[in-house]
Amino acid sequence: MLEKLFSFGHGHGFALSFTQLDFWLFFLLVLVVFSLTHQKKMMKTIFFTAIGLFFYFKTSGASVLILSFSIILNYLSANRIFKTESVNGKKAIMIFTVSLNVLILAYFKYAFFFTESFNAMFHTDFKALNYFAQWTSGFSGSGSLVDKIIVPAGVSFFTFQSISYIVDIYRKEIEPVKSFFDYSFFITFFPHILLGPIARAKDFIPQINGPYSLNKNDFSWAIIQIVKGLIKKLVLADYIATHFVDKIIDAPEAYPGFLGIIAMWAYSLQIYGDFSGYTDIATGVSRLMGFKLFQNFDSPYKAINVADFWRRWHRSLGAWLRNYLYIPLGGNKTGGWGTYISTFLIFIFLLFITRWYELIFIYIGITASFLLVVIFIPSFKQYIHRDLNLLITMVVGGLWHGPSVNFVIWGTMNGLALILFNHWKKISPYENSTWKLTHFWKIFITFNFITFTRIWFIMQENGAPLEFLHHIWTGFGFTLATFGKVIWTYQVVFIIMLSGFIIHWLPQKVKALYENAFAKMPMYLQAVSVAIIVIMIYQAVSDESRGFVYFLY
């Protein structure tokens, strides 16, 4: 019994997932109890904390203890920062708490990778031990996971949320909550604890203290979000992945190269459907309980440039990186020691994980060029600082997904694209063009850039992305006969893909028409409509159960 209680990792057989009936039975029970407690604030916050911890435990086992430690640490530290009168004292507590949060995240997410890289570089034989597993094995009687470090589910999300709370109090943007359970509710709110959206305390905590409110429009909106999320996840993401993308990516050499291009277009639709599907369901479920979460996606494939894309994709992470990394580094205006130190640390990190010693000469060359430019064109220093701050932010965004050279490359490519766009838009003759063909061309270029940089996202083995691109180039193999055969073989996949892109690119006013029509329906017709749609959705469900992609990160 204790061994089962202190089990580790993701995807337990008893884990609660938005796509399973178990979750909806759980949620129905939550709504029943919530209806009895929502007018009593303390009971409500305690209840939601307990439910949040239970939900997290069902996903990540004994890692719930790590979450609990994080909650207690940040709650106490925030109160101490607020009560400390000395500016230096406040700053010291803030730096210590943020550093400890980052160290916890780094240990579970990066310790094994760094140990392996260190051993490879210095020919040592150190082992990354899971001291947390070692400690809990005393309760469970099992030490089988002591030599493995499994990332607690959602650790990046709840850590970033905790850091934002601490920093906002230090900046005097908010005051600490008066009740421990208000804070624990904010962190453990079950719809978003695993995959976001990342919430800020100043947006979410006032809702805890406010009265419950749910009118018919809110209810209809929530149901639409939930149904959209299920369609995106189970039809767009899972069906396309199982019946097409996985087959091509796992063995690209077995297919003509042009199919690799189509597979990457399909992957862009898959990952969007998977991640935005989760957050759609999370925001819908939250709204039914009277809480509003940040809208995490805004039709990202309508973006007309890479900057526009990152304003539309995973918006809560983008906002977090902007507010707590990019702006503190100096943002668009300036740079300082933080910029230089971060650049140097990233260089050391790249040298460490790649062992490409030629990077030393590249780094020295770039540094020398920077000094020469600043000496002869002092005004250009501002642009260099802005570009460095942007590049650092995107590299960290890449590393946020995991300790991989390919994630660093992916983040770097997107950072360089943002830098190039910032300079290009000043001289581009097309920047303010209203010509529809120009608009289409911008979307086409942006979508394909985002899609093909994701080769480094989906393929984690070093060198695999370049091999994939080489196969596309040398084994393109396009003929009308071959294309016709592909269309026939994957006709259902292509119909779903085409439908997904068409719906995504529909004008928002068109989407608003069917949302408004649903909202105006009587409740019984809404229930019938949803029941029919859900039944149809589950007809497309693959026999293979797939978790949400971002659980891996």
Domain boundaries, the chain: 2-212, 214-298+479-553, 301-459
The per-residue pLDDT for 354 is 67
Report phi then psi at 435, rounded to 5. Answer: -65, 130
Distance CA 420, CA 306 (A): 10
Q: Give this prediction's pTM.
A: 0.86
The per-residue pLDDT for 135 is 55
Residues 217, 520 contacting (CB under 8 angstroms): no
**Of 391, 355, 351, nearest in space to 370 by CA:** 391
Residues 350, 408 contacting (CB under 8 angstroms): yes
Q: How many CB atoms lie within 10 A of CB 199?
A: 25
pLDDT string in tens for the chain (553-residue length): 333 333 334 444 456 788 888 888 999 999 998 888 877 888 888 999 999 999 999 888 888 889 999 999 999 999 999 999 898 999 999 999 999 999 888 888 777 777 777 777 777 777 766 655 555 544 444 444 444 556 677 888 899 999 999 999 999 999 999 899 999 999 999 998 888 799 988 889 888 888 888 888 888 999 999 999 999 998 888 889 988 999 999 888 889 989 999 999 999 999 999 999 999 999 999 999 989 998 899 999 999 999 999 999 999 999 998 898 888 887 777 666 777 777 777 777 777 766 677 777 777 877 787 777 777 777 776 777 788 888 888 888 888 887 778 888 898 899 889 988 988 888 888 878 888 898 899 999 999 999 999 999 888 787 889 899 988 998 888 889 888 998 999 999 999 999 999 999 998 888 888 888 888 888 888 888 888 888 888 776 655 556 777 665 5
Distance CA 235, CA 499 (A): 11
The per-residue pLDDT for 2 is 32
Using alpha carbons, list the distances in angstroms from residue 110 to 194, 230, 548: 19, 32, 21
DSSP element (H, E) containing 476:
none
Contacts from 493-500 at CB under 8 Å and sequence distance 24+?
493/239, 493/240, 493/243, 493/244, 493/266, 496/235, 496/236, 496/239, 496/240, 497/240, 497/265, 497/266, 497/269, 500/236, 500/269, 500/273
Residues 6+ apart with CB under 8 A from 290: 38, 207, 212, 213, 214
The per-residue pLDDT for 11 is 44
The per-residue pLDDT for 9 is 42
**Of 453, 444, 442, 445, nearest in space to 416 by CA:** 453
Q: Which structure tokens are listed for 537?
A: 């959705």
Using alpha carbons, list the distances in angstroms from residue 354 to 193, 316, 457, 502, 514: 33, 30, 17, 41, 51
- First CA to last CA distance, the chain: 29
Q: How many CB atoms lie within 10 A of CB 7?
A: 18
**Of 67, 75, 78, 57, nearest in space to 4 by CA:** 57
